[in-house]
Amino acid sequence: MFSFNSKRNNGQNNYFFDYELLGGKAQVRQSVIDWLNSIRDGSSSANKWERCWAETIKKILAIDPKDRPNAAQLQSFIAHVKHHVSMDPQEATKGCHILSTPVNTEPQNPDNRGFLPQTHDRPEVSQNFSQLVHQPPVDRKNLIAHSQVVHRPSVDLDKGPEITVSPPQDEEPPEDEEPIPPIQLMPSHYESINARRKQGKQAYWPSQEGVAIDVALSHYDKKTRAAFLTREAVRILDLNLETLHVTASGKRYTISDPLEKARITLSGRFLAVWGFCQQQKKKMFYFRDIEKEGDDIGNATSEGLELLRSVAISPQGVVALVRRDDILIQTTQSIESNRSSGTPLKLYPDNGHVFAHAAFNDVGTLLFGWAYGEGVESLRVWKVGSSFSRHSETSYPSEEREASKTKVIPYNTGMGCVVVAPEQRVFPVRTPKKINDETPLPRCQDIELKNLETGCVFQDYSFIALRRKGFWTQKWFLREYQIEHRDTTDFLQKGPELCDLISKPEASSQLRTLRVSEDPESKVVAIICNLDGIELVPFVPR
């Protein structure tokens, strides 16, 4: 398409760089840069993407190690240009930071990946689910003060362009559905955690069980708990956020047959453990109510666990066994009695897809599931109540990455979640207001968060990221990213760094960020639960 030979003025070879003998370093030839700039500024092609192509080439040719793209960035650059070549010219202009920037100015951060396509809903599928679920009164003011956690994403923030969206339609939910609390637009008084607070003295509590296999955190009904899992037992610890103390609750549950590659989850009073039992040569699943007496881990089951990927529990005791081809829904009663009450409820991904992960929001009203298939990935949302019904489905093109490692972090109470995808990609998703809402959602843009160990949503308006400072360093920190709600679209905006950590988190660590009372200006505590102990970081009013 372009003759590269004609772009090397006074060159003795066909290289794109000159080598400075005295300086001992190479640099891109100015003639090449001038040529790429002429493509960017002088292109008259109706496709317009040549400008994007030229700027992307300049990024790929970077010689300075500080500016040189890594493998993941290189792949995303190429995918971005490839995506634009196939787009409508006007749509490409709207969807690219480079193309939407005047030609005489230098774009700062081109979009590294492109956009996610529009979404659509699926018909509602409802099954009887009454009289099976613990439904204590929901204290929404208390629940919004805590966060939903996600395990082990291995995923810097390139700020995406503004996208114009159409205003939402004012529609009421169907008469037979209880309204789900909507996400409110970003209030003018909303501030970051450290806007009116200062960091207090951190506390660290080593684990009495030694180094655990896995850990879990829960905050519900004003009770904050941590669970440490070893091969032989589970110990429950109580956390006092006012005094920053951790105490043993006296709850220690033994596992008769040691588990390999075991995992644990905790929600309110309900605990689940699963893993491979070497003695029985199969996967085992244990579940118990920790408010009940006894020191055993609970009833065991091994049926249908061959393709088990993860487990989610709601505060009301609804259990979602996330398997490859479906999500099996069980209740406290059916598990504790070790029998099924009628035909088991299964949620299917459809269209030949398989599930990667699922999680309940903090109030247990919505279940979010991520599925993937041939060229397509999707977020599926079910409403949990007296019936179990599909609420919405949002589809995206596959990015040819390991979709099976994608995680979802639901908003605390609202209708949306943060999706943590492989290759350091993170993006928020707003779900439609109801099942038959045909309003197409605008395309979303993801961001890159390097060295992310784990994260949580705080107050529906912040994503708190636990990140490592560089690949080789042994230092970690917390940074707040604002979830900006714009009509039907959500965006992540880079916020302040909150603090450095004294502990050494890892992929198995869990994070919660909690407000100790309903007072909006009250103390906030970040809880980092590691395999070898718990770190508490307070942020107190100034």
- Tens of pLDDT, residues 401-448: 788 899 999 999 878 899 998 877 898 888 765 554 444 454 467 788
**Interatomic CA distance for residues 1 and 294, integer angstroms:** 75
pLDDT at 375: 80
pLDDT at 361: 93
* N-to-C CA span, the chain: 62
Secondary structure of 325-381 in the HEC alphabet?
Answer: CCEEEECHHHHHCCCCCCCCEEECCCCCCEEEEEEECCCCCEEEEEEECCCEEEEEE
Q: Coil, helix or strand for 262?
A: strand
**Interatomic CA distance for residues 315 and 146, integer angstroms:** 13
CA torsion angle 474 456 313 248 (round to 10): 60
pLDDT at 10: 43
Query: CA nearest 540: which of 530, 528, 519?
Result: 519
**Interatomic CA distance for residues 251 and 240, integer angstroms:** 16
pLDDT tens, position by position, for the chain (542 residues)? 444 444 444 444 555 665 443 344 567 777 788 788 777 777 655 556 777 788 788 778 876 666 677 776 777 777 777 766 665 555 555 556 555 444 433 333 333 332 222 333 333 334 444 444 444 444 544 444 444 444 333 333 333 323 222 333 333 433 334 455 554 544 444 678 988 899 999 999 998 777 899 999 999 988 999 999 998 899 999 999 999 999 987 789 999 888 889 999 999 999 999 999 988 899 999 999 999 988 888 878 888 898 999 999 999 999 999 999 999 998 887 776 665 555 778 999 887 899 999 999 998 999 999 999 888 888 899 988 766 777 788 777 776 678 889 999 999 987 889 999 887 789 888 876 555 444 445 446 778 898 999 999 999 889 999 999 977 778 999 999 998 887 767 888 888 999 999 999 998 999 999 999 888 889 999 999 999 999 999 999 98
The token pair at 336 is: 């504790």
pLDDT at 400: 63
pLDDT at 338: 63
Tell me which DSSP letter residue 124 carries.
-
Q: Are strands 282-289 and 345-347 parallel, antiparallel or unpaired?
A: unpaired
The token pair at 500 is: 């450095």
Global pTM? 0.67
pLDDT at 433: 57
